[in-house]
Structure 1
Amino acid sequence: MIARIALLLRGLLAFALVVSIPGSLAQKVASQDCATGVHAIISRGQGPGGDLSVMGALSDMILDQIPGSTTLGFPFDHDADDKFTAVHSGALMLQQYVHDYVDSCPKAKIALIGYSLGAVLTMEAICGTSSLLLIPLPPLDPSYNTTVIASIAYGDETFVPLQPWNTGDCTVGLGEYPRLNPSTCKPFASSLQSYCDYGDALCCSPYPLDDNHAHHTYMKKYDQDVVDFIKHRLKA
């Protein structure tokens, strides 16, 4: 009972945070500013600093290699002490960003990309919540599955094995908050790529004792693969 009350209080706090988001953070854009390539919304991992952090190189690669594209370092509360509230409020805000951008740009093609904590909120925004430990959230409306053409997760803590979108080399491990009902992701299955490697303590536990090295190498290993996947999905 105490745990259920704590989850409810977290949910109410997260809702309060979302409804208080200033209008300047909305993704409404003028028609002349709509991306003609892909609009990539990139969610970094937990910690202080800018909204792109270690994801800056991927942002630059998208802009350089996919003409007409735009990118955004997603401004969720990545420096929050309470990661559960940060994920919930961030996932709700990400869903709203998708809604707003599509309202402004009906022909938009969107890529949602997240790393670590940003991967969790990205997957939560797409699939909704089925981990017992995360604050409940409904999935993104399936009608957006032709607009969201790429959904990328690096080191997702809701990772579970044996899913068709799993792309790294972790085949038997689990995330810290494993997704109990992956079927809610299926409307977006063709857009999903979840990178989780052995040695990542957050998405692939039990894991080799290598100081969580794998969790910090996704960008170097897979950024070009992600750009190529976005290119492929744009053509498709």
Structure 2
Amino acid sequence: MRSSVLLILTLSTHAWGVPTLHPPRQALNATSTACATGVHMIVARASTEMPGQGIIGAVATQVQEMVPGSDSEAVDYPATLTDYLKSEASGVSAMTKLIQDYAVRCPESKMALMGYSQMGDPTHVPGQPQDVGNSTRAGIFPRMNTAACAGMAPITKSFCNDDDRFCDSGTSIPVHLAYVQGFGTQARDFVVARVTGNVAAKGNVTKRGW
């Protein structure tokens, strides 16, 4: 009897400012004792965004609209580009604690993890089964041990496009900021399909890395 982490959505690698599709609906905060009957989403904003769920919260909102009984909460971490490594480590630690605490409190609930930029996939390597997008180059912090992620590939999607300044080691910030607009619906469908068990119909939808 344990929580299932259904998917990890990571969008690109670092800074954001993309307009949201809908205002994020933060139905549950970290101190709530309620347990989701749909899916509980833990959402980590991008570098330099204000505290809260950030632009990727729009995807969580769309999932909530399609899966009754779902909720979401934000990861509380610095999200700074200065002292980046310390900020990122703090985010990983904070998200890990949220996952562990929720799994203990709500062992029957499903969970989904979403992150953008710094809390997305800064270690992106092209050609992996979880990859989505047309990136052909590794990111600025390429993952050395790709085998370690193999077991998570079916429940993970990592989005990265060509010339992204961070996940593709390119030159474009606009590319880095466009994932919710370009892949938001696809990401939503990936989560919904797995939460509802309708993987046969939507299981080929690629989704993961922002």
TM-score between the two structures when normalised by the length of structure 2:
0.75
Match of 1:163 in 2: 128
Residue of structure 1 in register with 2:53 after alignment? 52
> How far does the alpha carbon of each residue in 1:40-78 deviate from its partner, in whole angstroms, 9 at most, with x for none?
111111114232222232232122121110011211111
- Whichever residue aligns with residue 212 of structure 1, its letter is I
Corresponding residue to 1:215 among 176, 179, 182? 176
Counterpart AA for 2:180? M
- Structure 2 gaps of 5+ residues are 1-28, 198-210
Is 1:180 paired with 2:174?
no
Counting only pairs closer than 5 Å after superposition, residues 75-94 of structure 1 correspond to structure 2 as: 75-79=76-80, 81-94=82-95
Letter in 2 for 1:86: S
Residues 27 and 100, structure 1, Cα contact 8 Å, conserved in 2: no
Does structure 1 residue 228 correspond to structure 2 residue 189? yes
Mapped contact 1:28–1:104 kept (Cα < 8 A): no
Say if 2:193 is the partner of 1:192.
no
Q: Is the 8 A contact 2:48 2:80 kept in 1?
A: yes
Change (3 A) 1:197 1:80: closer
* Deviation, structure 1 residue 80: 6.1
Identity of aligned residues (%): 29
Instruction: Answer with 86-95 or 99-108: which moved more.
Output: 86-95
* Partner-residue secondary structure (3-state), 1:111: strand
CA distance in 1, matches of 2:150, 2:31: 28
Q: 1:29: Cα distance to partner?
A: 4.5
Partner residue in 2 for 1:145: none
- The 3 A distance-change label for structure 1 pair 53 and 27 is closer
Counterpart of 2:117 in structure 1 is 116
Q: 1 or 2 for the larger relative contact order (CA 8 Å, sep ≥6)?
A: 2
Give the TM-score normalised by the residue count of structure 1: 0.67
Counterpart-to-counterpart distance in 1, 2:53 and 2:81 = 16
Give the conservation status (yes or no) of the 8 Å contact 1:44–1:115: yes
Distance in 1 (alpha carbons) for counterparts of 2:71 and 2:138: 33
Task: Report SS of the residue matched to 1:53.
Answer: coil
Structure label with greater radius of gyration: 1
Contact 1:199 1:213 in 2 (8 A): no
Q: Deviations over 1:176-216 (max 9, x none)?
A: 000000111223221110000012010112x3x5x332101
Residues 28, 103 of structure 1: 8 Å contact kept: no
Q: Match of 1:130?
A: none
Q: Which amino acid aligns with 1:61?
A: Q
User: Aligned residue for 1:11?
Assistant: none
User: What is the distance in 1 between the residues matched to 2:31 and 2:105?
Assistant: 6
Q: Is the 8 A contact 2:132 2:160 kept in 1?
A: yes
Distance between the aligned counterparts of 2:144 and 2:183, measured in 1?
26
The 3-state SS of whatever aligns with 1:54 is coil
Contact 1:59–1:71 (CA under 8 A) maintained in structure 2: yes
- The SS at the match of 1:60 is helix
**Structure 1 segment 64-79 matched on structure 2, within 5 A:** 64-79=65-80
